[in-house]
Amino acid sequence: MTNTLYDALFAGHAQNNAVFLTDDDGNQIRYADFVWRVAQLAHALTDAGVTPGDRIVVQAPKLTDTIALYGAALQTGAIYMPLNTGYTHSELRYFVEDAAPTLVICDAGNETDIADICGRDCGILTLAQDGTGSLSTQANAKPTTYPTVSRGPDDLAALLYTSGTTGRSKGAMMSHKNLLSNARSLTDLWQITAQDRLIHALPIFHTHGLFVALNTALLAGAQVRFMATFDVDTLITEIPASTLLMGVPTFYTRLLDDQRLTKELTQNMRLFISGSAPLLAETHAAFDTRTGHRILERYGMTETNMITSNPYVGDRLAGTVGYPIPGTEVQITQDGTPVAMGEVGMIEVRGDNVFQGYWNMPDKTAEDLRDSGFFITGDLGVQTADGRISIVGRQKDLIISGGYNIYPKEIEDVLNAVTGVLESAVFGVPHHDFGESVIAAIVADDQDVTAENISGLIEPQLARFKHPRKYVFMNTLPRNTMGKVQKNVLRQAFSND
């Protein structure tokens, strides 16, 4: 049976005795053993009632079994749906109700909360740091081979939810072809091979950590140093024995704060890659001066995986995101019409990497995905005559902090429901470490409304990374003649805070 993505990433390693992954405790797993583990988990999924096309929701810790679960979902023909581990009970309820999964995999400590959400509509299995989760224990007794389910290039492999400016999250439907085409392009472009050792300190519920970092490593047969969380001390220890790091700008600002980061420390490293948020030019220059390495910045979205990349061989320019990756077309438009080179416009992208549409949202799909196949990103950019692209702003109010996408409308809806808050405006300002910081401007009718009590009230409703880092209280919000809040005025006023 042919299974497009499983065959490319996993099946070929069935006899590979090279080390695939090393965890924080020094445990190593060979590629062949990992493929066997994928099969055991696939049997456990089938026993839980999972059939081809079913959604599997995964909100679980960063473990070897969590990656193997991704492979098992592919092998059974299911649709893998990873969720941020910081999402709250109310946020999870929306995802489960919208995706209607057959099975939810969660941290063993969250099983009671998940059961309250799922009721009798879906099954629940757990993963735990010590290996005692019900999914792991059930898989332990299963066979190490599994009859792989046939899946073609256009079958769905994953469902990734990305927040919308309306406050309602959208499920981006990613096919086997979408994910594999991008992994192949990036592996070739960045020259990733079995001789590489990747430091993996990213979360695995996100496009960057799962589909960019791990898919390329699996495709190339590279080694992976699998860190449970980002930790500077561990990173410093691992850099001399590694060749590749994929991170967000925060990784690099934290490394630069440590005097142990030197040219000598990084002499074995081949490539530092940054994405998920803009990399400040000052960070780019400082890292080059300290280490002799120019960070390779790239650009992508949940709906498209990677779109552009600075070159592996050639100039990596600060403030640009490079050229369209092979197999991907990019055009800069105004009202759907391509603009002249050097003019600012909407970034649109077409290629095998572009998603299939939004789950249960045909109108939104039609709005963002043209009949021609071009996806309207919502980002504003400019392209030079040689094709290099720079992002100059976002049409939408997306805030990217620490590599996470944050949409102001979702936060504003929660803030506006607080008693005493008349209205709010949430916006991002530059932050040297996180890329952007979230600020909330509040208009209140009660002096008892304080930053402290607002923060306490929203805590159970929003994931921690969405919480405003600062509240500013105003008599009125700045508006234009049409009555629209001028967030550009707010950003300018508080950009130095």
Report pLDDT digits (tens) over 260-308.
999 999 999 999 999 887 787 888 999 999 999 999 999 999 999 999 9
Helix axis angle for 408-416 and 451-458, nearest 10°, is 110
pLDDT-based confidence at residue 482 (cuts at 50, 70, 90): very low
Amino acid at 417: A
Is residue 492 predicted with pLDDT exceeding 90? no
Token pair 């309602």 in the structure block, residue: 168
CATH, range 399-494: 3.30.300.30
User: Residues 120-148: what's their mean pLDDT?
Assistant: 95
> Is a pLDDT exceeding 80 seen at residue 398?
no
pLDDT tens column, 234-247: 999 999 999 999 99
Residue 165 above 50 pLDDT?
A: no
pTM confidence score = 0.85
Query: Which band of pLDDT confidence, cut at 50, 70 and 90, is reported for residue 166?
Result: very low
Q: pLDDT for 300-335, tens place per residue?
A: 999 999 999 999 999 999 889 999 999 999 999 988
Helical ranges in 119-159 per DSSP H:
134-140
The model's confidence at residue 405, banded by pLDDT at 50, 70 and 90, is confident
Are the CB atoms for 65 and 111 separated by under 8 Å? no
CATH of 4-152 among 3.40.140.10, 3.40.50.12780, 3.30.565.10, 3.40.50.720: 3.40.50.12780
Q: Does 393 score more than 80 pLDDT?
A: no
Q: Tens digits of per-residue pLDDT, 334-364?
A: 888 999 998 888 999 999 999 999 999 999 9
Give domain limits for the chain. 4-152, 399-494
- Crossing angle of helices 249-256 and 281-291, in 10° steps, is 50
- Which helix (H) or strand (E) covers residue 380, if one does? strand 375-383
* Residue 23 pLDDT greater than 60, yes or no: yes
The pLDDT of residue 335: 87
CA 169 remoteness from chain centre: 14
Q: Which long-range contacts (CB under 8 A, 24 or more apart) does 120-128 make?
A: 121/96, 122/57, 122/96, 123/48, 123/49, 125/44, 125/48, 126/60, 127/60, 127/61, 127/63, 127/65, 127/66, 127/69, 128/61
